[in-house]
Amino acid sequence: MPLLIAAALAAPAAAAPRASETAGGIIAELTGCKAIADNNQRLACFDAATAKLAAATAKGDVKIIDREDIRATRRSLFGFELPKLPFFKGDDSAADTPSEIDTTIKAVGGAEFGKFVVTMDDGAVWRTTEPLPRDPRPGMPVHLKRGALGNYFMRVGSMRGVTAQRVR
């Protein structure tokens, strides 16, 4: 019985990718090629490393995102508190994260006590946490602004601003 448990515990370790097959390992191998003095060996090293990178990307093990993708992701997540995500590491685009955005209402749903659930053109869903003076309608412009202490303010058309919370 102990032998069976040891074999079961060893199986996941054997299935884990080697360091040279992970994104960090592939990048380290690729950048390590620069140190090779002989041109033919350096070219062969780069060819092998880029082939590994292309294969890992095609397999979905490695994703390559550029700064614009990160900015677009940050904008689409406006209103949510983000955890520390590893793919944002070393990224200075947080400074480019908007503190306010303008969008348009796609759909409106009623909530209790004069509050509303508002779906925006980009698919974001917000709920007002206080009543609006008038009913919002699809097509109306919306201005969302980050406030202090995690609050957000929503101004629909020319109505006064109210606090709102991102739902989805």
pLDDT of 33-78, one tens digit each? 999 999 999 999 999 999 999 998 888 888 877 777 777 777 777 7
Looking only at the bridges linking them, the beta strands covering 125-128 and 162-166 are: antiparallel
Percent residues over pLDDT 90 in the chain: 35
For residue 56, count other CB atoms closer than 10 A to its CB: 19
The upper half-sphere exposure of residue 29, i.e. CA atoms within 13 Å in the direction of its Cβ, equals 20
Q: For the chain, what is the mean pLDDT?
A: 79
Q: Cα(116)–Cα(112) distance, rounded to whole angstroms?
A: 8
Asked if pLDDT for residue 125 goes beyond 90, the answer is yes
Helix (H) or strand (E) holding 102: strand 100-110
- Structure tokens belonging to residue 94: 């947080």
The burial class, CB within 10 Å (0-12 / 13-18 / 19+), for 150 is: exposed
**Model confidence at 13, in pLDDT bands (50, 70, 90)?**
very low
Q: Spell out the long-range contacts of 157-161 with Cβ–Cβ below 8 A and sequence spacing 24 or more.
A: 159/132, 159/133, 159/134, 160/133
Among candidates 121, 138, 119, 128, which has minimal Cα distance to 160?
128
Say what the pTM is.
Answer: 0.56
The length of the chain, given as a count of residues = 168
- Structure tokens belonging to residue 32: 């390590």
